[in-house]
Amino acid sequence: MEFREEQWMQERQRVAELRPMDPVFMQCMFAYNPHLLEKTAGIILQRRDLVRKGRPETGNAVSIRMRDRMETEIRVFITGEGFLSVRKMMGIVPYDPQKTGRAEFDIRIAENDVFGQGWPVYCFESGTVTRLYINGQYRRESALSCLLHDFRCRNPDNMLLPEMILTVRRLKESETGIRYVLRSLYSEQPDRTAAFG
């Protein structure tokens, strides 16, 4: 992908304006650095025993297979989209990792508190899948709050989590990273060839 100098500056600015919360940039981050996806899933699920198995798969969401110390296989899907259809769901409860024995999670990180209850994570069990809706406005002293803070930041200098800072800086400040994001923006599918980790 080649750009004239003026066009390159515009595209570079376009990438600089993206936040980890933005769906295409989120997919780029997780495809580029699978360790960040593993850490994000662990923070949201409140599980420190999860280990990634293989590389993430990308599509409308990023999915990853993980296992815990009991060798239970867990599949996690993470996206920043898909809230309009769930606003009136019945049976939503706060997420409690002690009460959820499911092995498949569909995690959606929201910009706002879509259910208006002030809970950090809303849980809805549907068939074999546990759907978790993350309240992007949640602000308390916790690892989840730090993660959500970073998802809303455009500038890596304002972020808190070292792995997020490193990944966002590589994607926004290096020519290779910027081109990686631009390929994903134009094709809507992250390119895994430049990934590390």
pLDDT of 7-19, one tens digit each?
A: 889 999 999 999 9
Contacts of 115 (CB under 8 A, 6+ apart): 87, 92, 122, 133, 135
Assigned domain for 195 exists: no
Contacts of 166 (CB under 8 A, 6+ apart): 33
Assigned domain for 193 exists: no
What is the pLDDT confidence band of residue 61, given thresholds at 50, 70 and 90? Answer: low
Assigned domain for 17 exists: yes
- pTM of structure: 0.80
Share of the chain above pLDDT 70, in %: 74
pLDDT score for 84? 45
Per-residue pLDDT tens digits for 130-169: 888 888 888 888 999 999 999 999 999 999 999 999 999 9
Assigned domain for 194 exists: no
Assigned domain for 178 exists: yes
Tokens of residue 93, six digits: 């409860």
Long-range contacts for 7-13 (Cβ within 8 Å, ≥24 apart)?
11/178, 11/182, 12/178
Mean pLDDT of 71-77: 69
Phi, then psi, of 55 in degrees rounded to 5 = -90, 155
Specify the length of the chain in residues: 197
Assigned domain for 154 exists: yes
Are 116 and 1 within 8 A, CB to CB? no
pLDDT reading at 60 higher than 90: no
At 162 the three-state DSSP class reads helix
Assigned domain for 164 exists: yes
Q: How far is CA 63 from CA 66, 92, 106, 112, 180, in A?
A: 10, 23, 9, 23, 19
Assigned domain for 34 exists: yes
How many distinct structural domains can be found in the chain?
1
pLDDT score for 196? 43
Q: Which domain holds residue 74?
A: 5-187
Can you say whether residue 7 is alpha, beta or left, with left for phi > 0 and alpha for psi between -120 and 50 degrees? alpha
